[in-house]
Structure 1
Amino acid sequence: MFGFSEEQIAGFGLTFGVGAFMLYMVFIIGQLAWESKAGKFGTFVLFLALGLGMLGFVAKFVIQWLLTP
């Protein structure tokens, strides 16, 4: 399709699709902190606990980028 292989399309979808979903999750975490009136420390804990999985995905992407010749 448009000169791209299935692998390239899947890689694009994984990178940008999941990245967009992660940005949406950041918005949800911020909204949760706002509605619960968590304060500065509570907001920090929410972002730390709920955002840790997103950090792993970003680290995987960066490691793959660094190791690709």
Structure 2
Amino acid sequence: METEVFEELMTTILVAGLILFMAFIVWDLAKKSKAGRYGTAVLFFALGLGVLGFIAKTIIIAVKGL
């Protein structure tokens, strides 16, 4: 496996793992602070915007390369 392919694969896998870990942290924060259903939704919405931006950037770069 070439270095570039390995780096791209590991970056994708590790960033996905980081996103899942951040989701767990937000869930735990909402649970410990007793944020309720609305507060939890707001916390996940804020995190979701960052994740959506990362995914959109990846898609835009892939489409631009075609």
TM-score by length of 2: 0.82
Give the distance between the partners of 2:13 and 2:28, measured in 1 at CA: 23
Unaligned 5+ segments in structure 2 are none
Aligned-pair Cα RMSD in Å: 1.5
Give the distance between the partners of 1:27 and 1:56, measured in 2 at CA: 19
**Residue equivalent to 1:43:** 40
Q: Which moved more, 1:16-25 or 1:47-56?
A: 47-56
Unaligned 5+ segments in structure 1 are none
Tell me how far 1:63 sits from its aligned partner: 2.9
Paired residue total: 66
TM-score by length of 1: 0.79
